[in-house]
Structure 1
Amino acid sequence: MTDPLAALDAGLEVADVDLTTADAERVRERLDRGHGAPWVLRRCVLDELDLSGVDLTGATLDRVRAADVRLRGAVLDGVRVDGGSLAGADLLDADLTDAAFTGVDLSRARLVGAHLTDTAFRDCRMVGADLSGLRDLAVTFTVDGCSLALARLADAHLRGWRLDRVDLSDADLSGADLRDVVLTDSKLRGTDLRHARLTGADLRGADLGEITPETPAVLRGAIVSAEQAADVCRALGLQVVSR
Structure 2
Amino acid sequence: MTTAEMLIAAVRSGDPVHDADLPDCDLREVDLTGMCLRGGSLAGADLRGTRLDRARISGTSLAGADLREADLTDAELSAVDLSGARLAGALLGDTRFDGCRMLGTVLRGVRGLAASFVLTGCNLQLADLGDLALRGLRISECDLSEADLSGADLRTVVFDRCRLRGTVLRAARLDQADLRTSDLGEITPDTPRELRGAVVSPAQAAAICGALGLTVIG
TM range (shorter): over 0.9
Give the TM-score taking structure 1 as reference length.
Answer: 0.85
Percent of pairs with identical residues: 53
Q: What residue is the counterpart of 1:62 in the other structure? A: 38
**Counterparts in 2 of 1:96 and 1:227: CA distance versus 1, 3 Å:** same
> Residues 22-49 of structure 1: CA distance to partner in whole angstroms, max 9, x if unpaired?
xxxxx35x65566853242111101001
Question: What stretches of structure 1 move > 6 A for 4+ residues in a row?
Answer: none
CA distance in 1 between counterparts of 2:70 and 2:114 reads 14
Matched, 1:84 2:37: no
> Residues 56-78 of structure 1: CA distance to partner in whole angstroms, max 9, x if unpaired?
11111110211100100000111
RMSD: 1.7
Query: Do the aligned partners of 2:87 and 2:110 also contact (CA within 8 Å) in 1?
Result: no
Query: Do the aligned partners of 1:115 and 1:139 also contact (CA within 8 Å) in 2?
Result: no
Q: Paired residue for 2:23, among 41, 47, 50?
A: 47
Matched, 1:131 2:110: no
Give the TM-score taking structure 2 as reference length.
Answer: 0.94
Q: What residue is the counterpart of 1:94 in the other structure? A: 70
Query: Do the aligned partners of 1:136 and 1:157 also contact (CA within 8 Å) in 2?
Result: no
CA distance in 2 between counterparts of 1:139 and 1:233 reads 34
- SS for the counterpart of 1:206 is coil
Matched, 1:169 2:145: yes
Aligned residues: 218
Q: Which runs of 5+ in 1 are unaligned?
A: 9-18, 20-26
> Residues 70-111 of structure 1: CA distance to partner in whole angstroms, max 9, x if unpaired?
100000111111102000110000000111111111111111
Query: Do the aligned partners of 1:158 and 1:179 also contact (CA within 8 Å) in 2?
Result: yes
Query: Do the aligned partners of 1:41 and 1:64 also contact (CA within 8 Å) in 2?
Result: no
Question: Could you tell which deviates more after superposition, 127-136 or 95-104?
Answer: 127-136
CA distance in 1 between counterparts of 2:162 and 2:10 reads 41
CA distance in 1 between counterparts of 2:15 and 2:67 reads 19
